[in-house]
Amino acid sequence: MIHYHLPGLFEFYELYARFLPLFRERRDWFYDWCDIGSIYGAPADCLWGGGRVGFGDADAHDVLALLSEYGISARLTFSNSLLRPEHLTDRRCNKLCALFAGSVLSEAATADKSSDTFKASRAPQNGVIVHSKLLLDYLRETYPELYLVSSTTKVLTRFEDLRTELSRPEFAYVVPDFRLNKSFDSLETLSAREKDKVEFLCNECCPISCTKRALCYENVSRMSLGEKVEDFECYDARFADRSGCRFEGRTYSFSRAMESPAFISVEDIRKLYEPLGFTNFKIEGRSLGSALILEFLLYYLTKPEAQIRVREAIYLDSALDLF
SS3 sequence, the chain?
A: CEEEEEECCCCCHHHHHHHHHHHHHCHHHECCCEEEEEEEECECCCCCCCCCCCCECCCHHHHHHHHHHCCCEEEEEECCCCCCHHHHHCHHHHHHHHHHCCCCCCHHHHHHCCCHHHCHHHCCCCEEEECCHHHHHHHHHHCCCCEEEECHHHCCCCHHHHHHHHCCCCCCEECCCHHHCCCHHHHCCCCHHHHHHEEEECCCCCCCCCCCHHHHHHHHHHHHCCCCCCCCCCCCCCCCCCCHHHCCCCCCCHHHHCCCCCCCCHHHHHHHHHHHCCCEEECCCCCCCHHHHHHHHHHHHECHHHHHHHHHHHCCCCCCCCC
* Domain boundaries along the sequence of the chain: 2-314
Identify the band that residue 123 occupies on the pLDDT scale cut at 50, 70 and 90. Answer: low
Class at the top of the CATH hierarchy for domain 2-314: alpha beta
- In this prediction, residue 168 carries a pLDDT of 98
Question: How confident is the model at residue 108, as a pLDDT?
Answer: 39
Instruction: Work out the pLDDT band at 53, boundaries 50, 70, 90.
Output: low
**Averaged pLDDT score across all residues of the chain:** 87
Predicted pLDDT of residue 117: 39
For residue 235, the model assigns a pLDDT of 55
Given a cut of 50, whether residue 198 has pLDDT beyond it is yes
pTM over 0.85: yes
